[in-house]
Amino acid sequence: MSEVQAMGLQCPFLTAVGLPLEAPRSATVHRARIVVGSRIKSQCDHERLISVDEARRLIDGWSAADGTLALVVGQGLDDASLHGVYAAVERRGPCVVLSPSAPPRRASRRLTHKHVEPNIAITDPLAGGDGSYSCALLLDERSADVSDHLTGRHIPGQMIAEAARQTAIAVTERFFLPPGRPVEVRFVTHEMSVSYADFVLPLPIDIRCVPLKLRRASSCSLRVSYEMHFTQLRQVAAVAQFSISVVDRRYFDSREKALLDALYGQLAAA
């Protein structure tokens, strides 16, 4: 029986989607310690979650006589801290195993349309070979979406929505638009929705992105809809749908100006 059940409390997700209260069992993750950002660690005292500083001390003091130390990259790490942990593991040798085996590569500012790197929340998207695309949540806890809102042990829902938005943009940029495009374009959001099946925890989170509908006017003008599944420990924690258009910047600017002129005219006449 879980602590929640023992207290007689009802999980808000239990009746809605029928998910168990007990965490799913995964031998690798449950034996391993999850390395997370220090702010996330301060919100969650679970023994399997450790901060970057704790991970480095643990790695530096570990020896082959202690057996194999298994570590997993969780959420909240900035790139410098992330690479620092990998460097410490490489120095210590095979008695420490870190998953994934190579540092996750954060998507670029160009692909995600973000100006500040801590606000980039996903890894580089990859083609799955079956028409789908994949990336992973790579949350930096300095991100604008969590720097002012981080409560409890879960990732804020708004962060999942932002990661879905970045995934839609990055997949479109990399796989649906030509390199060196001849015209400047703008991205327009038409629809977005996110449904949460359970709390998204600071664990490894995979994102699978499936295009549902694509309509092209030209190589640089299109409308596309996606569905994205956020999966932790092989269970879907959230599902997002996103619909966006890519349009010529000249049309975008003229449409925006026309709308502004019309609304300003109404204000002046009021």
Query: What's the pLDDT score for residue 47?
Result: 86
Q: Tell me which residues of the chain have a pLDDT lower than 50.
A: 1-30
This prediction's pTM: 0.85
**Whether the bond into 100 is cis, omega within 30 of 0:** yes
97: CB partners within 8 A, 6+ apart = 68, 69, 70, 71, 89
Nearest to 251 by CA among 227, 221, 223: 221
Query: What's the pLDDT score for residue 217?
Result: 93
Q: List the domain boundaries for the chain.
A: 3-99, 109-255
Backbone angles phi, psi at 122, to 5 degrees: -135, 165
Of 3.40.50.150, 3.10.129.10, 3.30.450.70, 3.40.50.300, which CATH number belongs to 109-255? 3.10.129.10
Residue with tokens 């029986």: 1
Query: What whole-number distance in Å separates Cα of residue 217 and Cα of residue 262?
Result: 27
Nearest to 140 by CA among 29, 34, 33, 38: 38
* Torsion, CA 231, CA 153, CA 22, CA 137, rounded to 10: 10
Q: Where are the alpha helices (DSSP H) in 141-248?
A: 157-175
Q: Residue 118 carries which DSSP code? A: G
Burial class of 187 by CB neighbour count within 10 A (0 to 12, 13 to 18, 19+): middle
Distances (CA, A) of 196 to 4, 160, 193, 240: 19, 9, 10, 9
Query: What's the pLDDT score for residue 152?
Result: 61
Tokens of 231: 């999966």
Query: What whole-number distance in Å separates Cα of residue 107 and Cα of residue 238?
Result: 21
Query: What whole-number distance in Å separates Cα of residue 209 and Cα of residue 197?
Result: 17
The 3-state DSSP class for residue 38 equals helix
